[in-house]
């Protein structure tokens, strides 16, 4: 393709809306443009990268025996009614009505449709195991679309679903997808980590996420320095640590603490560490109000809390609701005499004589003890694990890192097959409920994650497998006949081989052409300049600093070898 004819609107300016480098580079390299918050159009280079990613995924899935289907993006409400998810999805799902007033939605995921398909089309164990997938556009009205295609409202997902008759079968199908994912992400040149993930309120029996470590990742990965065990934040159990609480059986005491509402204020007033306080947070879980206690220096993990409560919505309660159960302003909640259930983090059980809100504006209690001054409804792991905690498996030291979730594999069990009556006849002719797994990859997010890992101050450094064009031929001076001819010739040879090649035939200064080639990240650059008369060109890899002069033939061979590695 000739650069002069291709729509590659590169930008010199750094777009102000983009906060992270992959987002900036996708805009600057002319891969995409924003249509609305979290909604993007793809330009020619972007489309080629997307197609390359899709094909890597498609080949990986096909190699592992999965079959490709394509489901509609727009679906009628009835599809979600049987699984109960019409309500579960809440505001994250785009809902619409047809001209007759019937409810429709734009699919945020497709468990229901695949389950219905297998229920209606597959009758016998002889057809199982079966793994079906699609590469299709999903819609989620995310609360905070951001970072370009990393978290968008319209995105392409590869979603796959496995169907088995036995748990052992599911284990096998799951492992098969695990292996496919490892191959796929390796082919994209990603440096990834697989972490144990939370199976959530969905009630599955196992789940893992494929994470790309990156400072811009929205997920926190927690891993052990010693044994290497890795999990995402909500899955890693918090191991309670001992704290230096005052010894003895001290009497509870009410202290006047005017305007002292935060742990920060309290530590100043009491002149002691935040670990000697306990925070009481008041949550609204669907329609119910609950109090949650964690040590003063800890944070509540809302996924752990939500899993325990089994609620759909969870948020901090509004001031009026806090006042209802505590009788006090926000900032003075405590478990003693509170008018709602109290859930307590495991670590607080190890504490005594701590300081906590008194359920009275401007007052705290000192020397509070569990089971003497109040009794929690439940004691469970509710806090975020932090760097320095003990590993629950080996006692080693836990560290944390940020990660981008590019893929997710999940043992679903029978949640959907039960709801939809998806059964198959087994060898004895008996009807058995099918056991499912589901497996997702965010295609656009993969691209952004790869750019996060493969770029420098000059632009993107595409891995060959994803590069929109593998080679760019740059004649330094297009009005020089010798240069133009040799460049054309090299370009022609690559085209004959069926290789995606660009020729920068624009009448631009070489500096401009080099800058653009670097920005759009083409793996191999062949520059045809002063030595064109001798048949010598400059060979340069995007990933390396220096270029090498060599005969055009050698450059062609070197390029061929490099891109077919």
Residues near ligand ATP, by CB under 6 A: 109, 140, 142, 151-152, 155, 157, 405-408, 440, 442, 444-445
> DSSP letters of 186-245?
HHTT--EEEEE---GGGT-SEEEEEEEE-TT-SEEEEEETTT--EEETTTSPPPP----P
We find the least distance from the C-beta atom of residue 405 to ligand ATP, in angstroms, to be: 4
Burial level of 118, CB count in 10 A (0-12/13-18/19+)? buried
Q: Which of residues 383 and 408 has its CB atom nearest to ligand ATP in the complex?
A: 408
We find the least distance from the C-beta atom of residue 444 to ligand ATP, in angstroms, to be: 6
We find the least distance from the C-beta atom of residue 441 to ligand ATP, in angstroms, to be: 6
Instruction: Report residue 166 as tokens.
Output: 């036995």
Q: Which of residues 406 and 474 has its CB atom nearest to ligand ATP in the complex?
A: 406
We find the least distance from the C-beta atom of residue 142 to ligand ATP, in angstroms, to be: 5
Angle at 451 between CA 449 and CA 454, to 5 degrees: 115
Q: Which of residues 151 and 383 has its CB atom nearest to ligand ATP in the complex?
A: 151
b (16+ CB within 10 A) / e for 444-481: bbbbbbbbbbbbeeebbbbbbbbbbbbbbbbbbbbebe
Q: How far apart are CA 409 and CA 194, in angstroms?
A: 10
End-to-end distance of the chain based on CA atoms, in angstroms?
23
Angle at 413 between CA 207 and CA 184, to 5 degrees: 45
We find the least distance from the C-beta atom of residue 403 to ligand ATP, in angstroms, to be: 10
Q: Which of residues 190 and 325 has its CB atom nearest to ligand ATP in the complex?
A: 190
Q: Name the closest residue to ligand ATP (Cβ).
A: 442
Q: Which of residues 408 and 525 has its CB atom nearest to ligand ATP in the complex?
A: 408
Burial level of 399, CB count in 10 A (0-12/13-18/19+)? middle
We find the least distance from the C-beta atom of residue 437 to ligand ATP, in angstroms, to be: 13
Q: Which of residues 136 and 433 has its CB atom nearest to ligand ATP in the complex?
A: 136
Q: How far apart are CA 506 and CA 122, in angstroms?
A: 57
Q: Which of residues 55 and 136 has its CB atom nearest to ligand ATP in the complex?
A: 136
We find the least distance from the C-beta atom of residue 210 to ligand ATP, in angstroms, to be: 7
**At which residue do the structure tokens 């979603």 appear?**
159
We find the least distance from the C-beta atom of residue 264 to ligand ATP, in angstroms, to be: 30
Q: Which of residues 152 and 301 has its CB atom nearest to ligand ATP in the complex?
A: 152
275 in Cβ contact with 310 (< 8 Å):
no
């Amino acid at each position: 393709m000739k650069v002069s004819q291709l729509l590659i609107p590169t930008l010199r300016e750094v777009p102000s809306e983009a906060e992270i480098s992959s987002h900036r580079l996708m805009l600057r390299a002319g891969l995409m443009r924003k249509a609305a918050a979290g909604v993007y159009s793809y330009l020619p280079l972007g489309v080629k990268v997307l197609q390359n990613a899709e094909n890597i995924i498609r080949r990986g899935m096909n190699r592992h025996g999965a079959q490709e289907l394509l489901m509609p993006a727009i679906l009628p409400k009835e599809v979600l009614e049987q699984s109960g998810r019409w309500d579960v999805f809440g505001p994250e799902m785009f809902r619409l009505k047809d001209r007759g007033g019937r409810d429709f939605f734009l699919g945020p995921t497709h468990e229901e449709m695949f389950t219905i398909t297998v229920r209606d089309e597959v009758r016998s164990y002889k057809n199982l195991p079966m793994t079906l997938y699609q590469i299709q556009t999903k819609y989620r009205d995310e609360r905070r679309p951001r970072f370009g295609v990393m978290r968008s409202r319209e995105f392409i997902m590869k979603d796959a679903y496995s169907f088995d008759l036995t748990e052992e079968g599911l284990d096998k199908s799951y492992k098969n997808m695990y292996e496919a994912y490892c191959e796929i992400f390796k082919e994209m040149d990603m440096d990834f980590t697989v972490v144990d993930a939370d199976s959530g309120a969905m009630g599955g029996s196992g789940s893992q996420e494929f994470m790309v470590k990156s400072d811009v990742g929205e997920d926190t990965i927690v891993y052990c320095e010693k044994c290497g065990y890795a999990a995402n934040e909500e899955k890693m159990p918090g191991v309670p640590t001992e704290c230096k609480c005052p010894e003895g059986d001290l009497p509870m005491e009410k202290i006047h603490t005017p305007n002292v509402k935060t742990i920060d204020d309290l530590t100043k007033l009491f002149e002691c560490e935040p670990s000697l306080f306990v925070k009481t947070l008041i949550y609204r879980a669907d329609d119910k109000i609950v109090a949650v206690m964690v040590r003063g220096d800890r944070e509540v993990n809302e996924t752990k809390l939500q899993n325990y409560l089994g609620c759909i919505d969870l948020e901090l309660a509004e001031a009026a609701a806090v006042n209802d159960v505590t009788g006090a302003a926000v900032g003075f909640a405590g478990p003693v005499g509170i008018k709602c259930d109290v859930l307590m983090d495991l670590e607080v059980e190890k504490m005594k004589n701590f300081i906590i809100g008194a359920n009275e504006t401007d007052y705290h209690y000192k020397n509070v003890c569990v089971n003497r001054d109040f009794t929690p409804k439940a004691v469970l792991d509710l806090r975020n694990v932090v760097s320095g905690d003990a590993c629950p498996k080996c006692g080693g030291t836990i560290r944390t890192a940020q990660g981008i979730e590019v893929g997710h594999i999940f043992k679903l069990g029978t949640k959907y097959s039960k709801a939809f009556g998806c059964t198959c006849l087994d060898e004895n002719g008996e009807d058995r409920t099918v056991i499912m797994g589901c497996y997702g990859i965010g295609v656009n997010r993969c691209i952004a994650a790869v750019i996060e890992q493969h770029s420098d101050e000059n632009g993107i450094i595409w891995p060959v497998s994803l590069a929109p064009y593998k080679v760019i031929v740059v004649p330094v001076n297009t009005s020089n006949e010798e240069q133009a001819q040799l460049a054309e010739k090299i370009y022609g040879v690559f085209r004959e081989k069926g290789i995606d090649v660009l020729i920068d035939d624009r009448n631009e200064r070489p500096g401009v052409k080099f800058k653009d080639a670097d920005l759009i990240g083409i793996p191999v650059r062949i520059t045809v300049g002063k030595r064109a008369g001798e048949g010598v060109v400059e060979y340069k890899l995007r990933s390396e600093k220096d270029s090498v002069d060599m005969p055009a033939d050698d450059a062609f061979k070197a390029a061929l070898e490099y891109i077919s590695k």
